[in-house]
Structure 1
């Protein structure tokens, strides 16, 4: 019989985090802690409003253009300034959980999945959406 104190070895057996970001080695509060839902949603709303504004000016408010512009803004700004414009305004940034520069492929994967929306609605106990888990990223406070 396995020891009940043994370390879990499969994903389904991982215990929940005591606070968001604990398993990633991030602090509970303050700079570098996981961005909480309120800031995340406000940043998303700002980014979406920017995409709608650009779409209204150049594409006569085309819903498909809204989504494409939103994804492109994410892909351009995450590797260059470390966050989308909306997240930057609310004090958040995107990091690679493996350290170093986030690179070009992580923002592409993250943004395309975010554009689908469903992955962003599925969170783990670290408050990372599926889009962040697949891309190996985390949205943290600056």
Structure 2
């Protein structure tokens, strides 16, 4: 570059901003509609519904508001997440808001193992609130999964 007359290379789509023109572009997903990456609001609503269902189920076995109820709700949340995501690719809350879970192909994990890893990290909370340009949390990146609209 500089005084020799060289020019900057044309954008290739790799490593420049065209690679991030919309959520999911890097994974070949459409910008909108089925198969696209849902926004934060839709994903948060799904999490809220799943957690509410877990709290409701836990209240049948432990006094509402107690530490036992909170621990049981987390266990129920994790178990229903692993089972439903492994079998159907969605949970009750995700289904209510039109979200599913799909593998990206970047990890060679057996599907239930990927879902288990994702769910354990989601229960730790921090990996879920740290996310990339495709709005994939660290839990999704570690498991090689991505949320998609259904």
**TM-score category, normalised to shorter length:** 0.7 to 0.9
In the alignment, what sits opposite 2:101? 94
Within 5 A, what are the aligned runs for 1:36-115? Answer: 36-61=39-64, 62-98=69-105, 103-115=111-123
Q: CA deviation at 1:38?
A: 1.1
What SS does the corresponding residue of 2:136 show, helix, strand or coil?
coil
In the alignment, what sits opposite 1:133? 141
Measure the CA separation in 1 of the matches of 2:50 and 2:121. 16
TM-score, structure 2 as length reference: 0.82
Measure the CA separation in 2 of the matches of 1:140 and 1:32. 5
1:14-33 CA deviation, whole Å, 9 max, x = no partner?
75611100111111001100
Measure the CA separation in 1 of the matches of 2:104 and 2:33. 18
Higher-Rg member (1/2): 2
Unaligned runs of 5+ in 2: 2-6
Q: CA deviation at 1:78?
A: 0.3
1:6-60 CA deviation, whole Å, 9 max, x = no partner?
8799xxx675611100111111001100011111011000000011001101232
Q: Considering only aligned residues, what root-mean-square deviation do their CA atoms show, in Å?
A: 2.3
Unaligned runs of 5+ in 1: none
In the alignment, what sits opposite 1:23? 26
Measure the CA separation in 2 of the matches of 1:32 and 1:110. 20
Within 5 A, what are the aligned runs for 1:3-22? Answer: 5=9, 15=17, 17-22=20-25
Report the count of equivalent residues: 136
